[in-house]
């Protein structure tokens, strides 16, 4: 197999070459972003997903093997990340509890009613905003666990910290998020 330019760049990334990584990012970030937008993601969400995909590529760089074209490797990661996010969205209790208590499921293609969608969007925005307000070390552990689906031992390996530290940071992050979100829920229930 003739080694194409992208594979050569990725092999340099495997050797911790940040310039090669940046070249791949510049070349493919908009491609992956458009892929997510075509799957129905909002622009801001697709940009976040692009960042996550390239973070995954960087974290997994030492395991990279050029078994196929780089774009095949890239889109496998992008697809897997999108599927993981979709599964997590389906499991989020706040969305399902709203849907299960209404006639939304009877609507064509399960399209939410405008007011339910507004509440869901507002809550999602508040959750993301609350996550962004966490200190970096708590946010990183929380995002890796809840959004990346990584196990605590994997997070410990990635961050090079003991598993007990991961558990402690996750517990603190969850506590802080519960506090922030319970205040938000109280405020919105008083407003209505």
- C-beta neighbour count of 144 within 10 angstroms: 21
Q: For the chain of 192 residues, list the mean pLDDT of each consecutive stretch of 10.
A: 83 96 95 78 91 95 89 82 82 48 37 52 75 77 68 74 94 91 72 58
Domain assignment present for residue 154? The answer is no
In terms of residue numbers, what domain contains 14? 1-91
Structure pTM? 0.49
Q: So what's the pLDDT on residue 6?
A: 94
Q: So what's the pLDDT on residue 160?
A: 72
Domain assignment present for residue 179? The answer is no
Are 65 and 17 in contact by the 8 Å Cβ rule? The answer is no
Domain assignment present for residue 149? The answer is no
Domain assignment present for residue 7? The answer is yes
Domain assignment present for residue 38? The answer is yes
Inter-CA distances, 64 with 11, 81, 86, 172, Å: 8, 17, 26, 34
Domain assignment present for residue 139? The answer is no
Number of domains in the chain: 1
Q: Which CATH number does the domain housing residue 54 bear?
A: 1.10.1740.10
Q: So what's the pLDDT on residue 172?
A: 96
Q: So what's the pLDDT on residue 189?
A: 62
Domain assignment present for residue 114? The answer is no
Q: So what's the pLDDT on residue 106?
A: 36
Q: So what's the pLDDT on residue 190?
A: 63
Domain assignment present for residue 185? The answer is no
φ, ψ (nearest 5 deg) of residue 53: -60, -45
């Amino acid at each position: 197999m003739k080694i194409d330019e992208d594979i050569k760049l990725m092999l340099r990334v495997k050797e911790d070459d940040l310039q090669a990584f940046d070249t791949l990012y510049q070349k493919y970030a908009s491609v992956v972003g458009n892929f997510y937008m075509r799957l129905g993601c909002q622009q801001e969400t697709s940009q976040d997903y692009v960042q996550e995909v390239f973070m995954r590529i960087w974290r997994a760089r030492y395991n990279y093997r050029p078994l196929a074209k780089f774009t095949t490797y890239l889109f496998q990661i992008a697809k897997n990340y999108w599927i993981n996010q979709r599964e997590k969205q389906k499991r989020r209790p706040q969305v399902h509890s709203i849907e299960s208590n209404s006639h939304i499921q009877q609507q064509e293609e399960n399209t939410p009613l405008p007011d339910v969608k507004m509440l869901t969007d507002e809550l999602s925005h508040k959750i993301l905003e609350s996550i962004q307000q966490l200190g970096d070390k708590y946010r990183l552990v929380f995002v890796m666990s809840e959004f990346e689906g990584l196990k605590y031992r994997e997070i410990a390996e990635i961050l090079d910290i003991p598993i007990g530290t991961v558990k402690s940071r996750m517990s603190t992050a969850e506590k802080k998020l519960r506090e922030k979100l319970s205040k938000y829920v109280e405020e919105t229930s008083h407003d209505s």
